[in-house]
Structures are given as structure tokens and as C-alpha cells.
Structure 1
Amino acid sequence: MEKTSENNSYLKSPDLLPIGYEQRKIGIVGFFAMWVGMAILLATFDIGASGIQNISLPWVVLATLIGCIAVGIFISIVGDIGVEHGLSFPVYMRAPFGIIGTHIPSITRAVTASFWFGLNTYFGSTAINSIIHTIHSGFDNWLLCYAIFALVQLINTASGIKWVERFADFAAPIIIILSLIIYQTLTADIVERGSNVWAWAESPVTGGAAFTAFIIVIFANMGFWATLGCDIPTISRFFKAPKFERNWFKRNRTNLIGSLIAMPLTEAFMIMIGAAAFMVAGTSNPVVALQETASGWMLGMLLLMIVLTQWSTNTAANIIPAAAIFSNVLGPKASNVIAVFVVGVVGTIIQPWSVYEILTQALLFIGAVLSSISGILVVDYYLLRKRRVNVQELYQHNGQYRFHGGINIAGFLAWVVGGIVAILLMDYSFIVGFVLAGALYYVLAKYWYFKKFPQAEMLDPSDDKYLGITVGRDWIIDGEVTKQQEEVQSNV
């Protein structure tokens, strides 16, 4: 066990301390179920609807699988930060961006997650409104539904990660069954119209235009999960993993199975539903499409699925990561519960539902900004530090990661340049931002910045000093906060 003696500070907010081996409760089945819930959401349908306007559904599905597997590999790679050291995203970001600099890119991610929370809650609230309207025709108040639905999700998340997993375990099988019913209902209507869902395209393109449309679907899917890819350590720190396991694949199998099997298959199926909804009603929103093809109890059941999917996505993929970041920014006085409700407030103020019509473009933009952060994370963790982290110093005001007034200039330069170039090359934003920012950071950090600010784990890459679960270590930060840490972790 490792200890430090520095007084408590905002760097040591109990919600941000490393998660120990005994507190890691999420296994393969749990994360698989979480992915089923996260990948089934209305925003995913838009990619399918956009894709089949130019290319046929088989090509859209293939592009989706390629994009999801690619980003799933990346999510698994970054997730090792949480598995190995029990660290959340905003805490590890202190290494490549500095103890103060971490706030700027982290807040970018938190606002993005809050955006998704608001958008998904809006979708869920419209479904709830439709369900109630079906039962009581005089009711029509989506705003009231929004407030209640948001509150329920926030309370669920504030109750701890174990309640998030339990809801995912409950919702996943129901979601799968209802998704099959949705697809069958929509395709039956398409067949009645004399169309073939697998051959149809609204305005088919060929040659270079078809290739471009194919690539856009790939990178839209990658940009879609670039948000979670950045801060997957915030969730993966709760994954069960064997102590003293040096095989990377065995240590990360929970993440690998969820991100490379559950997510691609689930997302591909949602793309198919979005495409079918567009063929039926000219919109990717299946709530609208289903109102044209279903009625009575079936419509109510299908709309219930929409509610469950938005709920399960928000808790795991949006509220938990964003709350960890807001907790990092606001300090120990802001408990995890407060940080969770900050996510709700920010996500509502943004009113993200107003940009739904340009969602694919928004995904590419988000992918550009966040993929640059991701490239820097991967380079910093794997190529420079070689998975060894001076974890104690991440919680020190005047330690190794203070850099220039708390800011790692190399990290910021790489992020800005990589993000701008990726935005300029929007159709390929994820890969451009990831590669360019990562490469630039590697050169700046290794050959300039870390010569000015030596990094202990790079000078002495000792397993015993700087690895976590691989050598059987639980990182304990300062004896004074150990009790708080235990209290927080007892709730997960």
C-alpha cells in the first residue's frame, strides 16, 4: 500500500481517489449489459437514417461495424488506465495537461456529456409524453415529463455505480426484446409498401461519392463514442480484474468483450432501426415512425423501450463521467451527489434538442475535439510512461505534475493543433485528431518538455514503484483521507 502525507486539498476529493481491488464490482456480464443499454439510443438512429440517403443499408451496417470495432479497440486501450491504477479520467489528465490544465479539456468532455444527457432525456421525455397521451388523450406536457425523467436518472446515478449496473442488468433483456419488435414492425410496413429495406437508398450515389458517404458513417460512429473513449477510465476503474496479471488482454477482458462485441452488434442493429424508421416516416426518430405503424399496447411498449434506453445510456455514459469531472473542478466541498445534479442543470441549460437536425455534423465536430485528447492520452500512458504512473504525485499541489503553474504546455499545444486540423478535415476528424495530436505531443514532451520537467516513472520505469494491479497494489492517497475514501467506495 502506498501513502503520502500531504494535507487534504481539492486534488484529493474523495470521489476522485483511486478505486481499490475490493471495490471493483463490474464484471463481464455487467459491462456487457451496460453497453447494450448505452448503444441503444435515439441519437444512434440518426446515423442510419443519414447513411441510407446515399448508400444502401448493407454498406451502412458494414461501415458501422468497422467504426465501432475501431473505436472499441481504442476504448479498451484507454480503459487500461482505470483498470491498472483505479484512476478516473480527470485525475489522469493531470499528467498530460497539468493539475490545473486538466480542467479545460476535462470540462470540454463534461459539457459534451451533459449535452448528451439533455438530448437523451428530451427523447425519453417525448416518449413518456406519448405514452401518457395514448392512455389519457388530454395530456400533452413534455417539459413536465422531462423534469421528472431527469430527476429519476440523476437520483439513480447519485445512488452509486452498483445501482447503475443493476438498472442495466434489468433493462438490457427488455431493451433487446422490444428492439426486435420495433424492427419487425417497421420492416413489415416497408414490405407492405413493396420496398426492400436492404436495397433501398433515397438518393443513391456511386464512385467517389459513395466512398465518401461510407467513410462518413465510419467516422460518425467513431465520433459518437469518442466522448466515452476519452474518459472510459472513469468507468473502467470499477471493472473486476485479476491481481498480478501481466497479460494485457486477460486484465482488460471485461472492457474488450463489452467494447468489441456488445457495442458493435448493438449499434449496428440500432442503425438498422434508424434506417427503417426513415424509410417509413422520413425521419430517424422511431417515436414518430412508430406512431404511424403501431397503436395501442404495442405503441406503449415500444415507447417504453425508448425510455429505458435513454435512461441506461445517460447514467453510465454521460452522468458518471461528467460528474467525476465536475467533482474535480469544484473540489471536495462538492460531493458526488452535487456533481451529478450539476450535470443535469448544465445539460438542460444547453437545450441540445435544438441541434438534433445537424447531429451527424455535430458528432464529427465532437470527434475532432475529443479524439485529439484521446491521442494525447494514449501516447502519454503507453509510449512515454509505458503504463507506469507516479500516482502519488497526481494528488500533490507542488509535485511532478505542476509544470508551468499547473499547466503542461506540450499537452495544450498538441491538443490545439490536432483539434484545429481535425476540424478542418471534418469527414476524417477522429483519425486526424487522434494521430496528429498524439504524434505532436510525443515529440514535444519527449524531446523538449519532459527535459525541463523530468518524470520519475520515465527516468526509473520500475514496476514495483509505478504499476498498480499488475503488481497487486491498491493506491492509497494520504492517510488522512483514507476514511473518506472507504466511505465513498463503500457506496460503489
Structure 2
Amino acid sequence: MERQGNEAAYNQAFFEKRGYNKDIMPKTSAQRNNSTFNFFTLWMGAVHNIPNYTAVGGFLLIGLSPLQVIFALILSSFVIALLLVSNGYAGSKYGIPFAMQLRDTYGDIGAKLPGVLRGVVAGIAWFGLQTFAGSQALLILLNKIFPGFENIGSGVSILGISVPGLIAFLIFWAISFAIGFGGGDILNKFTAILNPLIYIVFGGMAIWGVTVAGGFSNIMNYEISTKTDGIIYPAILSFILIFNSLLGVWAGPGSSVSDFTQNAKSTKTQIIGQISGIVVAHVLFAIASVFIIIGGSIYLGHQEWNILTIINEWSNFWAILISTGVLLMTTISTNATSNIIPAAYQLSALLPKWINYKRGVVIASVLSVVIMPWKMMENEDSIFLFLNAIGAILGPVAGVMIVHFYLVSKCRIDIDKLYFDLHDKDIKIQRVNISAYIATIVGVVISLLGFLPAFKVISDFSWFIGFFISSLVYIVLHHSVKLFSKKQEGVNYNEI
């Protein structure tokens, strides 16, 4: 009812007059057409992709049994789903994108830094890295389809990448760009096609894993060599470690989920769709990943945690082609939902007068090539350092956003104040929410301490630590400022 009232009071001309482009305006009922099924299929590719399957191999090394890892993966889906639906509520209720939700939390100027970190730095850089990772799988496929493809260019490198590698990268980049440029409508159609393929292919691969292992019991009883470095935690903490690792992967989407929920037909639609989709996807992922990796290890005669290596050892060309093809499609889906779409919206929000969504996609896509992600992947440690740092930053951001919307704003947003007139230089609005900023900085600093050897345990649980510390600090600061403001009438220490 409140959203319908807002639509009656505001129209496109109203927001255009205030200096906003249509891509960051609140979505109207006519524009909000994403169904429960759309949300059910939305994140399937983000669950079933090459990095996630490889990560399961690492989870099997921390001392848990195969069955315990399966349960941990399934349980983690409920935590991830809770993050997505709770932080996506503002988007589904008011039809606003992530950029405007950030403004409501941090203030006009305050929203720019977390927005740049999520959409521009994390979105563009990870889009490039994910594109390069996918292109490596495509390169393997091209070499099998076209014998001699790897010899193109006779070993010549261009800016540090081989000619065949560059061709594969640009092909994969072009497909990812096209999906992102098409926006939500194209993405919905793409995921609708991809969803049944995931069930068929990964379900079939799981059956293959059980078959070559000689039965279900051989997989469950497979002796795994645990890691010799790092800390070995008790089972309960190992479960939380897995939750934290997966939440780190979802740190970006978990923060910017309103870019998708703003298109939901209703809040109920996104809640049912996302919870069911995330849980079902993780149930299949938990079973398939463990069965494929352990079954493949038994098949090869040694522990092997790279799913591409397992697939490439198959003798059937068509099985390799189909399985690798679906893995490539899931990586493209992840690239669109987690990277290019948030990056485009953030660029549009930073410069609403000059950049719209499609221009944002073009700029982000070009920059993802300019940064030469293949050079960033030459040093594996630097990649994980970068990704862990982004996760450590976005955990606190998500915590502050959720606390602000539910406890501070009481699930209410004043659209008129949120979309203030950009042409009015004298308007009095909240520029920076100091309490939110301090809470975020405290959470980030403590999370980043995990990069120091003496605080290694923090890095293993960085998302949880950053999320809860920033949330608690924000609650304390907000109530302290509120109490102090009552004693100092007319002074608002939470604005500058």
C-alpha cells in the first residue's frame, strides 16, 4: 500500500526534474515483473560454478567427513538465503536499487565509498577475474574442438597473454557483456534455460561419481588427507568456517541484492523465490560436488579437487563438451548477477546525469579488460588477498545496512527525502551518517586484522566478525547519539 501511494505521488517526470535517470528511479508496479520462478532460478549459476566446486575440495581438507561437508553446505544455504531476503526487503518494498539503499543508510556523500567498493572495485575487478577464469575453461574446450588451436600465434604473447588465450578471453567477455547489456530480462531468460541444464548435467555427474567410486559407501568412507598447515578446528567451528567462506563469496550479492529485488512483484515473491532457489541449489550442489570430487579422485587414483581436471580425464568427447559448456554458462550467469549488473548500477548512481545502466555496462566491461586480469592472476596470493579484503569490507557494510533499515528506520524510507533535488544547492539533507561510518570502519579494521599472522583466526571467520561487530557498534552509537541529542536540542551530531 505504501509503495502504491508513492507511485501516485511521484512519476518519472518528477524524478527526472530532480536530476535522476530512469535506471535509479524507484520501480513502478508495471516495471516490477519478476516472479517467484525468476528468483528461484536467479542464483543457481552463482552456486554451481568452477570456483565453488573447487572450494569444496578445500572444505574436505579441514577435518570434516564427506557427510559433514554435505550437511555444512546445505545448512549454509539457509544463512545465505536469510542475508539475501533480509537485505533485499528494502528493494522489494520500495522498488529502489542498492545505490539508493546505500544513500538511505550512509547519507548522500557517505554512500559513495561503499558504493565504489562494491560496484566499481569489486564488481569490475571480479568481472575481469571471473571472465579470465571462465576463458581458461573455454580455452581447454576450444583445444579439444579445434586441434591445433593452442598453436595459433606460435607462442607470441600480447600484453602478457597468449593469442589463443586472448581469443578465448574476448569470446567469453563478449558473451558476458551481452548478457549484462541486456539487463534483467535477458538474464531471466538465460537463467530459465540454464536452470534445468544444471539439474541434468550436475545430477548426471553426481551419479557418475557414485558409479566410478563403486557405490555411495565408498564415497562416504573415503580417506581424505587433511591439510598440514593452518588451524584444525573442532567440528562445530569447522561448520562455521564453511559458512563464513561461502558468505564471503556472497558478500557482494548479499550487499547489492536490492538491484534485483527492486524488480520483484512483491516482497513475498522475492522471499519465497530466493529461499527456495538458494536452498534447492545448495542441496544439489552439496551432493553433486562431494560425489563428483571424491568419485573423480577414486577414478583417477589420487586426490583431485579441480573439477575441470576430472572432466578432462573423461574419454567421451560429448560428455566433456556438455559438462564444460554448462560450467561456462554458470560462470557467465555469476558474472552478470554478481559483477557487471551491480557495477553498472553503481556507475549510474555516481554520475546519474551522464551515465545510465547500459553506458555503465559498457564502461565497466571495457575497464575489466584494461586492468588485464590475467596479470592479476599471475600471483595467486594477491588475488585471494584482494578478494578476502573485499569480503572483509562488505560484511560490515551489509551489517550496517540491515541494522539501519530494520532497527533505525523501522523498515520505512521517505522517498521524497531520499531522492532530493540534485539542483537545489541549499537543501538540508543528511550528507554522511557518522554513526554508520564509524561502525563500518571499526568492523572493517577488525576484519582486516586477520591478514596479520598473529590474528589468522580472524580471517577464517572475517565475514561473521565484521558483520556482527559493525552491527553492534552501530546500534550503540545510534542510541548514544539519539540520547545525547535529546539533551542538546537543535544539534544533530549524526549529520554533517
TM category (shorter chain) comes to 0.7 to 0.9
From 46, 54, 57, give the equivalent of 1:38: 46
Corresponding residue for residue 467 of structure 1: none
User: What letter matches 2:25 in structure 1?
Assistant: L
TM-superposed CA distance for 1:208, in Å, is 4.0
2:438 is matched with: 413
What do the CA deviations read for 1:93-124 (whole angstroms, capped 9, x no partner)? 11221212211111111222333322332232
Matched, 1:25 2:33: yes
- Counterparts of 2:15 and 2:365, CA distance in 1: 32
Give the structure 2 partner of residue 429 of structure 1.
Answer: 462
Mapped partners of 1:370, 1:232: distance in 2: 13
Q: 1:238 and 2:267 equivalent?
A: no
Q: Which amino acid aligns with 1:296?
A: F
Aligned equivalent of 1:293: 314
1:165-314 equivalences under 5 Å are: 165-191=188-214, 196=219, 199-203=222-226, 208-241=233-266, 252-259=271-278, 261-269=279-287, 271-272=289-290, 273-274=292-293, 280=300, 282-314=303-335
- Residue 334 of structure 2 aligns with an amino acid whose one-letter code is T
Distance 1:35 1:64 in 2: 15
- Aligned with 1:3 (options 5, 10, 16): 10
2:86 is matched with 77
Q: Which residue number corresponds to residue 102 of structure 1?
A: 111
Work out whether residues 187 and 197 of structure 1, in 8 Å CA contact, stay in contact via their aligned partners in 2.
Answer: no
Q: 1:248-397, aligned counterparts within 5 Å?
A: 252-259=271-278, 261-269=279-287, 271-272=289-290, 273-274=292-293, 280=300, 282-348=303-369, 349=371, 351=373, 353-354=377-378, 364-396=388-420, 397=422
Partner SS state of residue 101, structure 1: coil
In the superposition, relative to structure 1, how do residues 24 and 392 fare at CA in structure 2: closer, same or farther (>3 Å)?
same
Q: Distance in 2 between matches of 1:178 and 1:271?
A: 12
**Residue 26 to residue 249, structure 1, CA distance change in 2 (3 Å):** closer
1:361-407 deviations in Å (ceiling 9; x for gaps): 7665433211100110011101011111011212224688843xx32
Q: Give the 3-state SS of the residue equivalent to 1:12 in structure 2.
A: coil
Q: Which moved more, 1:97-106 or 1:161-170?
A: 97-106
1:51 to 59, 65, 71: 59
Give the 3-state SS of the residue equivalent to 2:108 in structure 1: coil
User: Who is 2:75 aligned against?
Assistant: 66
Change (3 A) 1:435 1:212: closer
CA 1:250 to 1:166, structure 2 compared with 1: closer, same or farther past 3 Å?
closer
Q: Distance in 1 between matches of 2:275 and 2:365?
A: 30
Distance in 2, Cα, partners of 1:401 & 1:35: 40
Tell me: CA distance 1:213–1:7, structure 2 relative to 1, closer, same or farther (3 Å). closer
Q: Which piece of structure 1 moves more, 10-19 or 132-141? A: 10-19
Contact persistence 1:48–1:271 (CA under 8 A): yes
How many angstroms does 1:251 deviate by? Answer: 7.3
2: CA distance, partners of 1:231 / 1:190: 41
Separation of aligned partners in 2, 1:400 and 1:58: 59
Instruction: Measure the CA separation in 1 of the matches of 2:52 and 2:166.
Output: 23
What is the identity, as a one-letter code, of the residue corresponding to 2:115?
Answer: S
* Residue matched to 1:470: none
Cα gap change, 1:219 to 1:276, in 2 (>3 Å): farther
Q: Match for residue 469 of structure 1? A: none
Structure 2 residue aligned with 1:120: 130
- The number of residues matched between the two structures is 446
Contact 1:40 1:270 survives alignment (8 Å): no
Q: Which residue of 2 aligns with 1:483?
A: none
State the identity %. 22
Q: CA deviation at 1:435?
A: 1.4
RMSD: 3.1
Kept in 2, the 8 Å contact 1:185–1:294? The answer is no
Q: Distance in 1 between matches of 2:232 and 2:170?
A: 48
Corresponding residue of 2:477: 444
Alignment partner for residue 163 of structure 1, among 172, 181, 186? 186
Alpha-carbon displacement from aligned partner over 1:200-243 (angstroms, at most 9, x marks no partner): 322279984555443321210121112111010111111111xx
Q: 1:302 to 1:22 in 2, by over 3 A?
A: same
TM-score (norm 1): 0.81
Q: Is the 8 A contact 1:158 1:337 kept in 2?
A: yes
Counterpart of 2:91, as a letter, is G
**Structure 1 alignment gaps of length 5 or more:** 242-247, 456-492
Relative to structure 2, which stretch is displaced further, 213-222 or 13-22? 213-222
Matches of 2:204 and 2:323, distance apart in 1: 8
Q: Alpha-carbon deviation of 1:446? A: 3.7
Higher normalized contact order (CA 8 Å, seq sep 6+, divided by chain length): 1
Cα distance in structure 2, aligned partners of 1:44 and 1:400: 47
| Of 332-341 and 8-17, the range deviating more from structure 2 | 8-17
1:14 is paired with a residue whose SS is coil
362-371 vs 324-333, which moves further: 362-371
Contact 1:379 1:438 in 2 (8 A): yes
Secondary structure of residue in 1 paired with 2:27: coil
